[in-house]
Amino acid sequence: MRRARVVVRELRRIDEFAEVFRLFDEIWHPEPANPPVTVELMRVFSHTGSYVAGAYEGGTLVGASVGILAEGNTLHSHVTGAAPGRGIGHALKTHQRAWCAERGIDRITWTFDPLVRRNAYFNLAKLGARPIEYVESFYGAMADAINEGDESDRLVVEWLVKEQEAPGGPYQGVVVLEEEDRLPVRGQVKGPVALVGTPADIEALRRDDPSAAKAWRLATREVLGGLMADGGRITGFTRNGEYVVLIG
């Protein structure tokens, strides 16, 4: 929080939840009938002991996170949004982990789009979370400015509260999916480690070349999802934008 120059705290009032709603609206620009979370649900989550927190810079809300208590002594982090490139997301995750530790909660789970390279690097390389499941069309059709027109495949990740260090590289393996002229190019799986590449900017592809974005979705579903279905374990993410998969 010191590095990001923000204060993160739990939120409990309706006016605070309304601030979060407006912030998420500015980030995702969803259709009115499809917000990431409503004010009413945030009120319910907070009142019943789940996690609703905001990051403040001075008196301005610049990030927020909403999580739900789940089975298996778990907090499922449903949605987190923050101003990019300033470490606010990391501050929120640090607060979330401390909140869980105080309550004896063992792990935190959440989902993210496997095609978004910066999120994969943050979740896997910086935080040390580990994917445990690839789910096709997790949310069904989504209607917001970031995801519209694409299918909502997601990686479900697990972050153990007592783990402190994210493992680092270097990583060696055979590249089985890589980018060439913005399109996915597949290779053959050889050896115990596969490297599954990602597009440099999937959000730009969705805007500028929807057919290329769709090709990436299907290729990642088949290659990364297929490896995980066959017992492969994602153990890291390289600076070149590749998932490191140990073949099962």
3-class secondary-structure state, position 58: coil
Mean pLDDT, to the nearest integer, of 162-175?
A: 76
Domain membership of residue 2 (yes or no) is no
Domain membership of residue 32 (yes or no) is yes
Q: Does residue 202 share a domain with residue 118?
A: no
0.85 exceeded by the pTM?
Answer: yes
Domain membership of residue 239 (yes or no) is yes
Beta bridge partners of 7: 56
CATH number at residue 43: 3.40.630.30
Measured CA angle at 164 (ends 162, 62), to 5 deg: 100
| Percent of the chain at pLDDT exceeding 70 | 94
Helix orientation angle between 39-47 and 14-28, rounded to the nearest 10 degrees: 130
Q: Does residue 58 share a domain with residue 150?
A: yes
Confidence at 144, pLDDT banded by 50, 70, 90: low
Q: Does residue 206 share a domain with residue 140?
A: no
Q: What are phi and psi of 142, to 5 degrees?
A: -115, 140
Q: What are phi and psi of 24, to 5 degrees?
A: -65, -35
* Percentage helix, strand, coil for the chain under 3-state DSSP, each rounded to 5: 30, 30, 40
Q: Does residue 139 share a domain with residue 178?
A: no
Query: Could you give the number of structural domains in the chain?
Result: 2
Domain membership of residue 63 (yes or no) is yes
Mean model confidence pLDDT for the chain: 93
Domain boundary residue, one of 127, 160, 193: 160
d(CA 10, CA 88): 15
| Percent of the chain at pLDDT exceeding 90 | 84
Domain membership of residue 169 (yes or no) is no
Measured CA angle at 220 (ends 215, 225), to 5 deg: 145
Helices (H), 49-198: 88-102, 117-120
Higher pLDDT, 149 or 25: 25
Q: Does residue 227 share a domain with residue 125?
A: no
Instruction: Domain of residue 95: give its range.
Output: 7-160
Higher pLDDT, 164 or 185: 185
Domain membership of residue 107 (yes or no) is yes
Domain membership of residue 36 (yes or no) is yes
**pLDDT at residue 115 greater than cutoff 90:** yes
Residue 239: count other Cβ atoms within 10 Å of its Cβ: 11
pLDDT of the residue at 85: 82
Domain boundary residue, one of 102, 129, 160: 160
66 CB contacts (<8 Å, ≥6 apart)?
20, 36, 37, 41, 42, 45, 50, 51, 52, 77, 78, 79, 80
Confidence at 151, pLDDT banded by 50, 70, 90: confident
3-state SS record for 108-143: EEEEECCCCHHHHHHHHHHCCCEEEEEECCCCCCCC
Q: Does residue 209 share a domain with residue 98?
A: no
- 68 contacts 105 by C-beta, under 8 angstroms: no
Higher pLDDT, 79 or 34: 79
Confidence at 49, pLDDT banded by 50, 70, 90: very high
Q: Does residue 242 share a domain with residue 135?
A: no
Domain boundary residue, one of 113, 130, 160: 160
Confidence at 45, pLDDT banded by 50, 70, 90: very high
**pLDDT at residue 36 greater than cutoff 70:** yes
Q: Does residue 67 share a domain with residue 19?
A: yes
Q: Does residue 131 share a domain with residue 54?
A: yes
Domain membership of residue 1 (yes or no) is no
Q: Does residue 179 share a domain with residue 151?
A: no
Q: Does residue 182 share a domain with residue 121?
A: no
pLDDT of the residue at 171: 79
**pLDDT at residue 148 greater than cutoff 80:** no
Q: Does residue 152 share a domain with residue 179?
A: no
Confidence at 169, pLDDT banded by 50, 70, 90: confident
